Amino acid sequence: MNQKDIIQKCKQNDYTAQIEVYNTYKNLLYNSCFRILKSREDAEDLVQDAFIKGFEKIHQVHNDVNIAAWFRRIAINLCFDKIRKEKNIFSLEDSKEIESELEEMGFENAEEISIDFIKECINKLKEKYRVIVVLYLIEEYNHREISEILQINESTVRNQYARGKNQLITLLQKHTKNEFKRTHRAT
């Protein structure tokens, strides 16, 4: 069954097609939710919520839509609904703040850093920077899309991303320097 057929079947509330969609994309959504929420239980719950919500609204999409991206967007929106309700990390003040554009730090030779360490450093960032870094660097949303998801100004998103990224680079550089010292001490 191709994607168009599956979407058509889901529009007809076909149980088998819905399970097929779930099994195909559940881990994709789970990784996105887990990166944002940092809780396995919450991420699993929200993945289920996202699929249920998606199947309820699937009649609104065209049969040729990128279904994975569509479900992922629902899941991410649900994650931020939850964050807004429980943590309130994106306050109205964030949205109102007028700031000069921050300059992003450069970081070359990133390929020398392991992905696991990058993940670890991202998780050490302050919550409001971490989620924007995740959305921009990993989920590949642009600043305008992030501002829509978080319901804050695009310029605020740009600044917070720059701050987050700079913090991340600082953490990565610290690691690089330590590695350099350790190597030299050994020699």
Partner 1 sequence: MNLKEHIEQHKNEFDSEKMSATSEVLFKKRLQGELHQPKKSKMVYLRFIAVAASIVLVLSIFFWNQNSNELTKTSEVLAFLNNESAGKRLEGVYKFDDEFKKEDSKIINTLIKILHNDANANVKIATIDALLKFPSNDNVRTNLIIALEKEKTPLVQIKIIKSLSFLREHRAQKTLEEIINNNETFPIVKSNAALAINQLKQ
Kindly state the smallest distance separating residue 37's Cβ from partner 1, in Å: 12
Residue 174 engages partner 1 in binding (rule: CB under 8 A): no
Asked whether position 30 contacts partner 1 by CB under 8 A, the answer is yes
Residue 161 interacts with partner 1 (CB under 8 A)? no
Select the span of 62-70, 143-151, 153-161, 166-174 touching partner 1 (CB under 8 A): 166-174
Give me the torsion for CA of 47, 12, 67, 128, rounded to 10°: -30
Report the first-to-last Cα separation within the chain, whole angstroms: 60
Q: Which residue matches tokens 């998780």? A: 123
CA–CA dist 19, 34 (Å, integer): 21
User: Closer CB to partner 1, residue 69 or residue 110?
Assistant: 110
φ/ψ of residue 140, rounded to 5: 65, 35
Stretch of residues binding partner 1 (CB under 8 A), selected from 11-19, 62-70, 78-86, 88-96: 11-19
Handedness of CA 76, 82, 88, 92 (dihedral sign): positive
Tell me, what amino acid is at 49?
Answer: D
Is residue 115 a contact point for partner 1 (CB under 8 A)? yes
The residue within the footprint of partner 1, chosen from 6, 17, 18, 135 (CB under 8 A), is 18
Contact region for partner 1 (CB under 8 A) — 40-48, 63-71, 144-152, 176-184?
Answer: 40-48
Measured from the CB of residue 68, what is the shortest distance to partner 1 in angstroms? 11
Nearest partner of 42 among 99, 86, 94, 12, judged by Cα: 86
